A and B are shown apart, each in its own frame.
Chain A
Amino acid sequence: MSEKEDSGFLVALQSGDRQAFAKLVEDTSTQIYRTARQILGDEQDAEDVLQETYMKALKALPTFEGRSSISTWLHRIAVNEALMMIRKRKTPMVSVDDNMPFDSDEESSGMEIVDFCCLPEKELLTSESRQFMDQAIQRLPETLKTVFVLRDLEGLSIQETVDVMQITENNVKTRLLRARLRLRQELAGYYAEKVEKEKSK
């Protein structure tokens, strides 16, 4: 979150200063687009969410109370829009246990042990593996995916993620851990063959 929220800027925004609003859009739209793109996995849907986010923000700015940063507030609008879009377009992939306490026995069963850290960077980041990584995110249930996108891809702090998601800190941490472990498991399976090849060299 880089924008300086001095009170003058906020006052200008809230009093309808177009230049201040343009600066806000300029400074934050890449992050908001990226967040929507990663939650939705679709460029057109992400653009719709992007536009809707700023349309809603424009209307709601006069009542913005400043309890979180403007950027966090924009993320909250965008995430809500994205989740609403997902709910409209398909059966949500929410697993019933997403808010349950972390069960280490359940999470560790069948865990793949493949040390893919040893692979060279160029093997880890081929365009094919990037595509696989994108698809792996899309396979996560929305509840886990959203937390992972906000925290690990957008670099929000735990507290900012709490503010965006409006869930408890414990829930954020549990969902983040589950998301990370599931993605690790996916990557371990994906890189297994490459690790074997590397070992046999």
Chain B
Amino acid sequence: MSKHVHTEKCSAMLGDLSEYIDGSLHAEICAQIEEHMKTCDNCRVVVNTLRKTVELYEHCSDDVELPGEVKERLFAKLELKDFLIKADTSK
């Protein structure tokens, strides 16, 4: 493990990283970031791990389901029990 010793160029890049990994950054600035990453291993690691962090969280977020009993209580509270579509609970 090492700590990032950053230069002015690294600092300038950091504020744009979110939009860079989202693909919403202006092409010209993207090109500058890519050029910088060719010679700065630390920044390349930061960009790749930042992207990976978002991917991992996106992946895990799908795992949170609405439990069947929570849904039942919600429909009961809202007096919508007649409209409740029960999920397959055989799993």
Q: What residues make up the interface of A, taking CB atoms closer than 8 Å to B? A: 18-19, 21-23, 25-26, 29-30, 33-34, 37-38, 43, 47, 50-51, 54-55, 58, 102, 104-105, 107-108, 110-117, 124-125, 130, 133, 137, 148, 152-155, 158, 173, 176-177, 180-181, 183-184, 187-188, 192, 195-196
Contacts and interface: CB of A to CB of B under 8 A. Distances in A.
A111 to B, nearest CB: 4
Given A33-B64, A112-B3, 16 more contacts: A22-B83, A25-B80, A30-B66, A33-B66, A50-B74, A54-B77, A108-B6, A111-B4, A115-B45, A116-B49, A125-B60, A133-B56, A180-B17, A180-B54, A184-B49, A188-B49
Contacts of B78: 21, 25, 51, 54-55, 58
Interface string B30-69: 0000000000001001101110111011111101111100
Given A21-B80, A50-B74, A111 B54 contact: no
Contact of A29 (B45, B54, B66): B66
A133 to B, nearest CB: 6
28 contacts: A19-B83, A22-B83, A23-B83, A29-B71, A30-B66, A33-B64, A43-B67, A47-B73, A50-B74, A104-B10, A104-B12, A104-B15, A108-B14, A112-B4, A113-B1, A115-B48, A115-B49, A124-B56, A125-B59, A137-B57, A153-B61, A173-B18, A176-B18, A177-B15, A180-B18, A183-B57, A184-B50, A187-B53
B89 interface: no
| Chain A binding surface SS class | helix
B70 A113 contact: no
Contacts of B27: none
A30 B58 CA distance: 15
A181 B50 contact: yes
Contacts of A153: 57-58, 61
What are the 6 tightest A-B residue pairs by CB atom distance, in nearest-first order?
A22-B83, A111-B4, A153-B61, A177-B18, A104-B14, A104-B11
Contacts of A58: 78
B66 to A, nearest CB: 4
Contacts of B71: 29
Which of B3, B57, B65 has the largest number of chain A CB atoms within 10 A?
B57
